[in-house]
Structure 1
Amino acid sequence: MPVSRETLQRAIAAGLVLDALPDSFNALGQRYSGKVRENFSADGQRLIVVSDRVSAFDCVLGTIPFKGQVLNQLAAYWFEVTGELFPNHMIGVPDAQVMRAVECEPYKVEMVVRGYLTGSSSTSIWRAYERGERSFCGHTLSEGLVRHQKLPANIVTPTTKAAKGEHDENKSRAELIELGVIDGPLFDQLEQQCLALFAEGQRLAAERGLILVDTKYELGRRPDGEIVLIDEIHTPDSSRYWYADGYDAAMAAGESPRALDKEYVRTWLVSQGFTGDGQPPTLPDEVRIEAALRYIETYERVTGRAFEPDLNPPVERLTSKLL
């Protein structure tokens, strides 16, 4: 049965959203709290609890009901179907909101792959192009392009991986090498692997009537030296999705394509005058619910499965399963 607005409203009212985890969870291992994920490392493994927190413009904004369950299960789906193309850190999924993974040494770079000239943040490729910049992360952009236009080819536009509360920075291949973040041969290897992975993601999304517009990949090195995907893959947090039908009509009309991702939250923030600086506005329940519906639809469209949320109180549920 589809998740209704009423179900989401009841979940908010009943406190069935996961924001923070109490200190009792520190027994799981060394703890690191990211913007969205709570990480616990012990004995060569990492337990990742995906909260319902939502972030945009590198700021934590509040919570969206069932978001953590959607992200975790969608990432698990993509890790499963792309594992032969690019290995990943996943070991298992002990709870709808939890992933068990191999402990990896993360690279201090995120490989952002873009297929379209779009974005709303000040660091996006579209904002750079709008400002008159014709070189972006080492890629030359031709004159006469319009917002949301498909690029001639998919490109990798890396960013530094910022600490919680700080902003990622766009960098070119040459800049990353100069900073000592990565060497040239390794960058070239990862670039080709990420482009191949993104192309496969686009192919599978197209079969579901969606356009995978852009995404970011985080990478780490396992103890055996193998480079793998970590964190998440092709989720509404890390990627943009548009509906394929209507894209051409939207472009012809000079309108934005219909989106099915976190861009809805970013667009609402921009309409409130927030683009990352200062105190973010509080997300009203109607925005949280609409965002939740979009996250859920992304999961269902991509996987072909109905989303069935676990309606048990999250902290109590996770305590019984993990501690």
Structure 2
Amino acid sequence: MSLADKVLAVNDHLPIRTGAPVHSGKVRSVYWLNEADSARLVARRGYDVAPDAPLAIMVISDRISAFDCIWHGEGGMNGVPGKGAALNAISNYWFDRFREQGLADSHILEVPHPLVWIVQKARPVRIEAIARRYITGSMWRAYANGEREFCGIKMPDGLHRDQQLPDLLITPSTKGILEGIPGVPAVDDVNITRGDIEKNYQAFNFSKVGDVDRYETLLREGFELISARLAELDQIFVDTKFEFGYVNDKAGNEKLIYMDEVGTPDSSRIWDGPSWRDGRVVENSKEGFRQLLLNHFPDPDILLNKERMQERQALARDNALPADVLMAVSATYTGIAEKIIGKPIQLADNPETEIVDVLGGEYGLVD
């Protein structure tokens, strides 16, 4: 069996019984269960959710996206070996720590396979909750071009690239296109201020204005918990994106929870501590893959210029990356995951078959 056979590249065609069309994102696919299967699992598995809570099966792939494109490699390797299992394992680890420390629950109810989550439907808060401890990436580029205000927060002069910031900086942006909010352009992923959120909390899907404080608290506490654990591993938690949503528990109480993924190489920048102290940035996150792509192609402007999206898509479609490139990315993902969780990431021999067997047998979700 080749290494390519161990990669789960396509994840939206599994024979899972659903009650709605499968939603396929860049990395994960969501199979919404029908009402009968959701109710049966809630009762049988004892989940702390409302008896009629809609459930879904979320299957993560090994695909890798960067610059809004999906990339592939030579030899039919349409993803990065171990990437999906690494991302799920890291998120599961942090969600468990959050729960143990009394921060908040997540949308995950059960993990039947390393590539699969059973989740409850949440009402998402329409904010990309971003926290930064270092000035780098897009924020540094804007700062270097003279910007001094970010999401309503004024920054001092004299900062240098990759410098640690005096305080943890929260720089939220919109999730999706939100219309009719004064001062907030109706485009996806636009920076917003704390004042924007408080004045228009309902438009951002908060239940009450006090939950704006709650989301910031959960963001800060989650960031600090991850940062402290990574520091023990001599890794630096640079910046990250969290997402939040609302669910109801079995007693009918509404609660704000963490959702999507947390603290992963896809959603965060993680730097190697010893290298940083030597004056070098070594990425243990997807940012390393982005830099690799920028160095790999002769005209990096194609990857950076949104007006050249058609050329960019053709670049990703028509260029199979060398296998050693994808294996280097695999080593980054599995390496940081194994550091965090303290045990090896196991690659499935035939992930699709394994997933179908588990969900069809113990859970009765395959026709």
State the TM-score, normalizing by the size of structure 2.
0.76
Q: Residue 290 of structure 1 aligns with which residue?
A: 328
1:163-205 per-position Cα deviation (integer Å, ceiling 9, x unaligned): 8xx9522222233455632565322221122111101110111
Deviates more, 1:72-81 or 1:37-46: 37-46
Q: Residue 75 of structure 1 aligns with which residue?
A: 91
Asked whether the 8 Å contact 1:49–1:99 carries over to 2, the reply is yes
Rg (Cα) greater in structure: 2
Asked whether the 8 Å contact 1:155–1:195 carries over to 2, the reply is no
Q: Does 1:117 align with 2:135?
A: yes
Asked whether the 8 Å contact 1:240–1:260 carries over to 2, the reply is yes
Q: Residue 170 of structure 1 aligns with which residue?
A: 191
Partner SS state of residue 222, structure 1 = strand
**Structure 1 residues 209 and 78: CA distance shift in structure 2, 3 A:** same
Once the two structures are TM-superposed, the CA of residue 154 in structure 1 deviates from its matched residue by 0.6
Which portions of structure 1, spanning 4 or more consecutive aligned residues, are displaced by more than 6 angstroms? none
Q: Residue 57 of structure 1 aligns with which residue?
A: 67
Q: Residue 237 of structure 2 aligns with which residue?
A: 212
Asked whether the 8 Å contact 1:58–1:276 carries over to 2, the reply is no
1:78-101 per-position Cα deviation (integer Å, ceiling 9, x unaligned): 111121222212211101100112
**Structure 1 residues 125 and 239: CA distance shift in structure 2, 3 A:** same
Q: What does residue range 254-273 of structure 1 map to in structure 2 within 5 Å?
A: 256-271=280-295, 272=297, 273=300
Asked whether the 8 Å contact 1:128–1:136 carries over to 2, the reply is no
**Structure 1 residues 205 and 234: CA distance shift in structure 2, 3 A:** same
Given the alignment, which residue of 338, 354, 363 partners 1:300? 338
1:17-76 per-position Cα deviation (integer Å, ceiling 9, x unaligned): 122235453524432111111012223222110111112233333421221111111111
Q: Residue 99 of structure 1 aligns with which residue?
A: 117
1:261-312 per-position Cα deviation (integer Å, ceiling 9, x unaligned): 111111123333112632243351222111111001110111221222222x
Partners of 1:21 and 1:201 lie apart in 2 by 29
Partner SS state of residue 144, structure 1 = coil
Partners of 2:291 and 2:305 lie apart in 1 by 12
Asked whether the 8 Å contact 2:82–2:345 carries over to 1, the reply is no
1:137-158 per-position Cα deviation (integer Å, ceiling 9, x unaligned): 1221111111110010111111
RMSD: 2.1
Given the alignment, which residue of 103, 120, 143 partners 1:85? 103
Q: Residue 4 of structure 1 aligns with which residue?
A: none
Partners of 2:284 and 2:261 lie apart in 1 by 17
Deviates more, 1:83-92 or 1:199-208: 83-92
Q: One-letter code of the match for 1:269?
A: L
Once the two structures are TM-superposed, the CA of residue 319 in structure 1 deviates from its matched residue by 1.9
Identity %: 30
Partners of 2:105 and 2:173 lie apart in 1 by 22
Q: Residue 259 of structure 2 aligns with which residue?
A: 230
Partners of 1:37 and 1:22 lie apart in 2 by 9
Q: One-letter code of the match for 2:213?
A: D
Q: One-letter code of the match for 1:235?
A: T
Q: One-letter code of the match for 1:168?
A: D
Given the alignment, which residue of 53, 58, 74 partners 1:48? 58
**Structure 1 residues 204 and 228: CA distance shift in structure 2, 3 A:** same
Q: One-letter code of the match for 1:88?
A: S
Partners of 2:304 and 2:209 lie apart in 1 by 33
Q: One-letter code of the match for 2:25?
A: G
Structure 2 residue runs without a partner (length 5+): 39-53, 73-78, 178-186, 360-365
**Structure 1 residues 294 and 73: CA distance shift in structure 2, 3 A:** same
Given the alignment, which residue of 212, 226, 237 partners 1:187? 212
Deviates more, 1:179-188 or 1:127-136: 179-188
Asked whether the 8 Å contact 2:244–2:257 carries over to 1, the reply is yes
Q: What does residue range 307-318 of structure 1 map to in structure 2 within 5 Å?
A: 307-311=345-349, 313-318=350-355
Partners of 2:305 and 2:122 lie apart in 1 by 30
Q: One-letter code of the match for 1:266?
A: R
Deviates more, 1:277-286 or 1:84-93: 277-286
Partners of 1:58 and 1:173 lie apart in 2 by 28
Partners of 1:26 and 1:309 lie apart in 2 by 22
Deviates more, 1:35-44 or 1:22-31: 22-31
Q: How many residues align?
A: 301
**Structure 1 residues 320 and 298: CA distance shift in structure 2, 3 A:** same
Partners of 2:131 and 2:9 lie apart in 1 by 29
Given the alignment, which residue of 155, 163, 180 partners 1:141? 155
Q: Residue 201 of structure 1 aligns with which residue?
A: 226
